[in-house]
Amino acid sequence: MCFVDDQVFDTVPTAGLCLCSTRLLFPDDILDPLDDVTRKLIQALATQYSGITMTAKEPADAWVIVGIASFLTDIFLKQLMGNNEYRFHQKLVSDKVLALDFERPSLRALGSILQLDKLELDFLALKAGAVLYILDRRLTKSGSTSGITRIISRLVTNAKTGDAAGTLLSTSQFQRLCEKMGHLKLESFFQQWVEGAGCPHFQVTQRFNKKKLVVDMLIRQVQSNEELRAPRDKDLKPGSFMRDVREDAYEVYAGAIQTAFTGPMTIRIHEADGTPYEHIVEIKEAVTKFEIPYNTKYKRLKRSRRQKERAAAAAGTEPTNDTQDDVLLYCLGDVLQSQEEVADWRLTDWTKEEEDKMGLESYEWIRMDADFEWICEMKVGMPHYMFVSQLQQDRDVVAQLEVSRKRLHTQ
């Protein structure tokens, strides 16, 4: 790696050398740019490695090479920074792809226009890495393979031991290898996420059916609705102005809007007894209705009991064995409890109506796409106190981020 003064781009990976700007260098006593600079340097080396080992057979296949570099970067940073940081970053990338993938060409179509503007390559690296991540999640969940890492290892081995033609990688070849090693049919996945453009937008409604003891759920895809297709902010922006101009000049058109994305989705329901139950449903149409069986045969009204537990935690009394864990939960967080603190912070407790309504609920909360297998926007029609329960009890960093954003949006 060679650091150069006054270089336009932060990194320029080539076949045997990575040219990096001196802007990326920082002293030991400044840690703020550590994460960002580390990711850029690793991305440059991963791009160099994947580009030397394999070459896109056609410009439309460039997304595979770029996506492998992004995926290797994330895997290395997972080992360096931990799983929580890895999942947190993937959620941020998913949200960014969701915001940017509007009126843009598909991954394959982007390959032929990368020379127009650097932003095209940046978006390709962003979305291709995210698509390989959700593909890895689906392959790993099948239990028949170790995921994309094993497939990349096979590609590298074939490229090094084969002839020159073996280094040329196409989308169809990559798909066949994924299907062979994953023992899955991935035609619809590649058709939607590689050949197609855009991301799904889900609206979820549910209710508990007491007669059947099931949760009736409706998942509707609304990405083709007129309000989502309406022109967004068209003000001139310095970051995307040249890309917009060049796309218009070269007549680069957006991909067709997909009315329905299909595939498996994991739904996790935390029922009244505190046990999480996972259910895998298959999304096949724009509107999907199904019934999820309810497993709990009785209801422990945890919310009414927790009022006593919170009081016990505040008073410092000894909890019983069956409520010790719940009391510990409130000991860790409830520090503003006196009347003065409540008044200063303008805190309010649940009203009598809310307490009664919570006591009648048959489940604590519902988590959609619990295994993070989709790049999507998910709007779940749950009461606000269910989001609070999820924020208090779900330890997954992605669940915490989702609930925090929903709470801020509602406030």
Query: What CATH number did the domain enclosing 135 receive?
Result: 1.10.390.10
Residue 172 lies inside a defined structural domain of this protein: yes
Are the beta carbons of 41 and 26 closer than 8 angstroms?
Answer: no
Cα gap 212→315, rounded to integer Å? 43
Give all strands of the β-sheet with 287-293 in edge-to-edge order. 287-293, 214-221, 201-209, 377-380
Residues 12 and 153 in one domain: yes
Residues 29 and 169 in one domain: yes
Instruction: Report CA Rg, the chain.
Output: 25
The predicted model gives 325-333 an average pLDDT of 48
Question: What per-residue confidence (pLDDT) applies to 316?
Answer: 57
Handedness of CA 171, 177, 100, 9 (dihedral sign): negative
Out of 178, 198, 218, pick the residue that ends a domain: 198
Nearest Cα residue to 260 out of 225, 229, 289, 287:
287
Residue 59 lies inside a defined structural domain of this protein: yes
Question: What per-residue confidence (pLDDT) applies to 125?
Answer: 94
Residues 15 and 156 in one domain: yes
Paired residues of 270 in beta bridges: 276, 365
Residue 342 lies inside a defined structural domain of this protein: yes
Min mean pLDDT across 177-186, 280-289, 355-364 is at 355-364
Q: Are strands 363-368 and 263-271 parallel, antiparallel or unpaired?
A: antiparallel
> pLDDT for 67-92, tens place per residue?
999 999 999 999 999 999 999 999 99
Residues 312 and 184 in one domain: no
Domain that holds residue 133: 2-198
Residues 179 and 310 in one domain: no
Plot region of 196 (φ>0 → left; ψ -120 to 50 → alpha; else → beta): beta
Residues 314 and 185 in one domain: no
Question: What per-residue confidence (pLDDT) applies to 223?
Answer: 84
Residue 395 lies inside a defined structural domain of this protein: no
Residue 322 lies inside a defined structural domain of this protein: yes
pTM of the model: 0.85
Are the beta carbons of 290 and 281 closer than 8 angstroms?
Answer: yes
Residues 38 and 168 in one domain: yes
> pLDDT for 263-274, tens place per residue?
999 999 988 777
Out of 198, 225, 253, pick the residue that ends a domain: 198
Residue 408 confidence (pLDDT) above 60: no
Residues 142 and 20 in one domain: yes
Higher pLDDT, 165 or 120: 120
Residues 190 and 317 in one domain: no
Residue 125 lies inside a defined structural domain of this protein: yes
Q: Indicate the burial class of 106 (C-beta count within 10 angstroms; 0-12, 13-18, 19 or more).
A: buried
Give the Cα-Cα-Cα angle 260, 396, 297 (nearest 5 degrees).
80
Question: Count of domains in the chain?
Answer: 2
End-to-end alpha carbon distance in the chain: 48
Residue 294 lies inside a defined structural domain of this protein: no
Out of 331, 361, 391, pick the residue that ends a domain: 361
Residue 192 lies inside a defined structural domain of this protein: yes
